[in-house]
Chain A
Amino acid sequence: MTMKRQRKACPLCESGIRVVNYKDDKTLSRFITERGKIMPRRMTGMCARHQRQIGTAVKRARFLALLPFIRGYEG
């Protein structure tokens, strides 16, 4: 059993993205839960800068109806 887990590298830094694009709903959907919530840092393993960018980007994408506010809720 490991006492301390190795910090995972930021998935966005590794893929070479510097600025998160709020119009790219395909990438953003990797960082929301199946219900549409923004995943926390402990799940995404992202660096602070990218987590912050994802937060803003997901909120913009929701406003533009590219992503749902809540998934699986139909009234």
Chain B
Amino acid sequence: MRDYEVVYIFDSAVPESTIAEKLDRFHALVAGDGRGEVTAVDHWGKRQLAYPIRKKPNGYYVVAQFRTAAESLPEFERALKLDEEVLRYLIVLHEGEPTAPMSVATREPRVRDEEEEEE
């Protein structure tokens, strides 16, 4: 069992209810039947992409953390690849520290930024 983090970028035209359904389906692949558990899901919401992906200027970002056995990843990844409404996804090993997914919308302003501007 290892800790992973996945970032999904959905087509922003997809309604949120559909996104929630898809997430349930994807997460069942890694967490269903005692294979592991999903520890956090963070919806960033709609966000402008830094460059268009499939000619779309916006995406709906979701960050999730889960713990699962390595064997269940290929199937999970296959489901993501097959889904046309997932513009892009990234699965990485979740290694310590930044535990809370950083939400762009709710993120607190950091104190150290101000400190550095004074220099």
Contacts and interface: CB of A to CB of B under 8 A. Distances in A.
A65 B59 contact: yes
Nearest to B42: A23
B76 to A, nearest CB: 18
Interface residues of B, number: 25
A65 B53 contact: yes
Nearest to A18: B97
Interface bracket on A: 20 to 34
A19 B98 contact: yes
A24 interface: yes
A69 B50 CA distance: 8
A51 to B, nearest CB: 17
A67 B92 contact: no
Interface string A1-39: 000000000010001101101111111000000000000
Interface of A: 11, 15-16, 18-19, 21-27, 60, 62-69
Interface of B: 7, 9, 49-51, 53, 59, 61, 63, 88, 90, 92, 95-98, 101-102, 104, 107, 110, 112-113, 115-116
